[in-house]
Amino acid sequence: MNDATELSSAALAQQEAEFDPAPPDTLKARLKRLALVTAAAIAPVRTANVLAERYLSSSHGFIDELAEKGRHRFEILPVGDDMAIMRHSHHPGARRVLVVPGHDGHYRQFTRLLRALDKTGLSVDVTVLPGHMHKAQTVCSMRDITEAIHRSWEAHGPYDGMVAHCVSSNAALFALDGGLHCDRVVLVSTPLDLVRLVRNGGEQYGLSGRCLDLFVDRVSELGAPFHLSLPWHPIAAERTEHLLAVHARDDWAAPVCDVQKLESLTPTATVAVFPHGGHNSILSVKTAVSRIADFLKA
């Protein structure tokens, strides 16, 4: 990836598909979907519980992947037994930034941003969320993500800035509301309507009706006390940190109309909407990356 040039629409679409692949349309996949619909009708509670845990389990194992890769530039700093910090760059005396990928997000999504932050002289750490270290398929809920941000701060902070993507942006707001101190916070592709996001995830499994409702409820319960329907407006209204919300105009997972409300609620918030990229590929849009880097080094 050449950081001096903007990626084409085709390249951004390819990256969007890579990090959020569509379900395969094969005979095996269709049979599994049919079996799931049958299970949902016969045992809706059990089906909803199983799928809620699957939904909250990552398909990645970052530490395993880096071990298989061999040579890499990250310094791995364990935080307890279930999470870690991947140190990307360290400049003595420089401002420090924590990057928090979204649930089941991949650090490779941040390649362009990490290089840009390093180039500006910032020290950068990346949080490896619980359930994302090894390919063990363990649950990582909203509570786990919010606590992981606090734990990153306690173990290797403080940080002057933070970049959070997708539902980790919601967790960042919860962490700030819980007393976390950070001068500059970037929220990327923030799905402020979490109920809608999770319902969409359940529908992609093929759920509907009562089983879909139970699925959403179970995902919410697993993240308690940060329930999906927890109002975000009061939290946003109380923010005093400098906030930058970066969003793609055509974000399928998090409608831009929701995040634009931040500017009217939070005096210190700025919403930057970009015509290129999507929910994930916005992190590779040159103008968006430059805006984030400029904001964090200010």
Q: Which ranges in the chain belong to alpha helices (H)? A: 9-19, 27-42, 44-55, 62-69, 111-119, 142-156, 167-177, 194-205, 209-222, 233-237, 256-259, 262-265, 286-297
Does residue 3 register a pLDDT over 90?
no
pLDDT of residue 62: 84
Does residue 259 register a pLDDT over 60?
yes
| Contact criterion met (CB below 8 Å) for 195 and 228 | yes
Whole-number Cα distances in Å, 288 to 88, 153, 248, 284, 296? 20, 26, 9, 8, 13
Taking residues 106-128, report their average pLDDT: 94
Give the Cα separation of 109 and 73 in Å (integer): 16
pLDDT digits (tens, 9 = 90+) for 58-98: 988 888 888 887 777 899 999 999 999 999 999 999 999 99
Handedness of CA 223, 226, 232, 235 (dihedral sign): negative
pLDDT of residue 42: 86
At 245, which helix (H) or strand (E)?
Answer: strand 242-248
pLDDT digits (tens, 9 = 90+) for 123-146: 999 999 999 998 877 899 999 999
Does residue 21 register a pLDDT over 60?
no
Higher pLDDT, 223 or 28: 223
Q: Quick one: 72-192+232-297 is in which CATH superfamily?
A: Alpha/Beta hydrolase fold, catalytic domain (3.40.50.1820)
Q: What is the total residue count of the chain?
A: 298
Domain extents in the chain: 23-55+194-231, 72-192+232-297
Higher pLDDT, 104 or 171: 171
pLDDT of residue 210: 95
| Contact criterion met (CB below 8 Å) for 151 and 79 | yes
| Contact criterion met (CB below 8 Å) for 270 and 164 | no
| Contact criterion met (CB below 8 Å) for 125 and 61 | no
Q: Which residue has the tokens 């619909």?
A: 37
pLDDT digits (tens, 9 = 90+) for 30-49: 777 777 777 778 889 999 99
Instruction: Among 6-10, 111-115, 144-148, name the one with the lowest average pLDDT.
Output: 6-10
